[in-house]
Structure 1
Amino acid sequence: MMEPVLTEEAQEIWDTVLSMSLSFKRETTKGKYIRILSLLMQEQDVKEAGKELVIEAIRMVEGKRFDNHVFRRIEDPATYKRLVIDPKTDLDAYFALPIQVKRWDIPSSKPTKSPKEMKVIAVNGSPRRGGNGDVLIDEALRGAEDAGASVEKIMLQKIKLNFCISCYKCEQPGWAGFCSQKDDVNGVFQKMADSDAIIIGFPVYMGRESGQLCIFFDRWYCLSGGKLGAGKRGMVIGTYGSPFVDSFYDSVIEKVMFILTNFGIEPVEVLSACGFIGVLGGLDDKGKAMILRFPKELEKAYQAGKSLVAGES
């Protein structure tokens, strides 16, 4: 396949991105980039591709994978420095970061019960009580409770949560109940089964959900076959350090939504919160969650919690 002609600036981006791909897949990945870029060049009737066209082609293949630390740095280096680099060492830059909460626009069904008849269980996959995700979960629960629902929150960090041991006892003929292990998880599963709506909150670590939530999801294997019951409404709250509200990390949140859907839980409300990068790790100088300084952003969680049980936007 003939490689397209690139400007010097575009070639640098091209080489940088390819160097970050897995070595054994590099040629395959390069072929995809070339195919898409060639089509874009043909569509726009250009003989040489600049950096904008190269970035567009790579985004069409990779989605937002390279946005946070490659493309944003190239497209607007001053903003990247102000939002990503400086807050890691400069307190003034850290406190100037704009904390943002995005309430996703997703179609959803209406609840089949009135809020007063509904139970909401929230599961927090963060290791930090009182952190930004925990505060957002509390606000969502407050909204649901103010609408009339009964609510409860469980911190995975505070319960006995074993790894899945792949014993497959839950698949044996005649097996009743949930998991064979004698920790706190079956109690959580029972609360989930008894609930009408489930909130899953977690931080994004290393480009994936937190370890606590990952271990918890592994234990869901015993819930296959509709053991949680049908018709449950779901809410996902994901937080991350990146200051960009439209981010590659949305794909992590989408994966959690997919897991919920597979177990009969319809995600009707989704929040992603960003901007918690920097020297104090998302806390202020008094150890409080930075999100508390942004009441308009917190309000989105409150309204989403009301909508979870009332079906109102």
Structure 2
Amino acid sequence: MKIIAVNGSPRKNWNTHILLNKALEGAQSEGAQTELVNLYDLAYKGCISCMACKVKNGKSLGHCTVNDELKPVLETIEKCDGLIIGSPIYYSDVTAMTKGFLERFLFQYLSYDDYSQTFYDGNIKKSAFIYTMNVPESMTDQIGYNALFEKYKMMFRHFGYDQTIVSTETLQVNDYSKYHMASFNEAERKERREKVFPADCQKAYDLGKSMAKV
């Protein structure tokens, strides 16, 4: 069993990274092999629409041919059993690096003959998303985030989409006084980090544990 987590956050050892590591700890507790990919460590671009992955009888059918640092990652992911993608929400969507990864990962398997079909024939049996953000849970539907989560869930329908974990009102920095961030209550954020974030970590751990039981 191999579980891969893809970190779409530029900030290591912070909210998204911590949750993904907890998920991998859960998978490891069930004996799974795990790997964490930090997208911001890689040099790559999003899909360039070359259509090489869709050439009839082509040697690259269903596979991205762009030869950069993401290519071997895509090849490794294709062979894993479980995939967890984590991203903070920046300007109402996943990060740019996450978006570029999703373009490259998903488009290679998309068939324009029939949208219900896929060129994917790999091992992934379960997939999941972990999102972190500064907005409160009560606002996620109002500002369209729930629709965003459903969109990505639909995109992963061919990969056994399992669940979505959302961590809200996360701690953004250690010292808010250094930044123009007066709309946030530092004391409340730090209290939430101590009392609520551990529950999110447990959810992530349980996700990884469950995924490793596929």
Q: How does 1:1-313 map to 2 (within 5 A)?
A: 118-177=1-60, 178-219=63-104, 220-224=106-110, 225-229=118-122, 232-244=125-137, 247-248=140-141, 249-261=145-157, 264-276=158-170, 282-285=172-175, 293=194, 294-310=197-213
Contact 1:123 1:200 in 2 (8 A): yes
Structure scoring higher RCO (CA < 8 A, sep ≥ 6) equals: 2
Of all paired residues, the percent bearing the same amino acid is 28
Evaluate the alpha carbon distance shift between residue 231 and residue 215 of structure 1 in structure 2; reply closer, same or farther with a 3 A threshold. Answer: closer
- Whichever of the two has the greater Rg, that structure is 1
Look up the equivalent residue of 2:65 and give its one-letter code. Answer: S
Q: Offset at 1:265?
A: 0.7
DSSP 3-state at the match of 1:310: coil
Q: Provide the aligned C-alpha RMSD in A.
A: 2.3
In structure 1, the residue matched to 2:184 is: none
Give a deviation string over 1:284-307, Cα, whole Å, max 9, x none: 349xx9686342332121112111
Q: Which has the higher helix share?
A: 1
For the residue of structure 2 that corresponds to 1:223, the secondary structure is coil
Could you list the runs of 5+ residues in structure 1 that have no partner in the other structure?
1-117
**Residue-by-residue CA offset, 1:140-161 (whole Å, 9 max, x unaligned):** 1100111111000111111121
AA aligned to 1:149 is A
Which string of whole-angstrom CA distances, capped at 9 and with x for unpartnered residues, describes residues 123-146 of structure 1?
111122122011100001100111
* TM-score, scaled relative to structure 1: 0.55
CA–CA separation in structure 2 for the residues paired with 1:191 and 1:228: 13
The structure-2 alpha-carbon separation of the partners of 1:258 and 1:130, relative to structure 1 and needing over 3 Å to count, comes to same
What TM-score comes out, normalization by structure 2 length? 0.78
Give 2:165's aligned amino acid.
L
User: CA shift at 1:269, angstroms?
Assistant: 2.7
SS in structure 2 of the partner of residue 216 of structure 1: helix
1:273 counterpart letter in structure 2: S
Q: Is the 8 A contact 1:203 1:210 kept in 2?
A: yes
**Paired positions, count:** 186
The change in CA–CA distance for 1:239 and 1:148 in structure 2 (over 3 A counts) is same
Distance across 1 between alignment mates of 2:94 and 2:200: 22
1:272-292 C-alpha deviation (Å, 9 max, x unpaired): 00002xxxx623349xx9686
Distance 1:122-1:231 versus aligned 2 partners, 3 A rule = closer
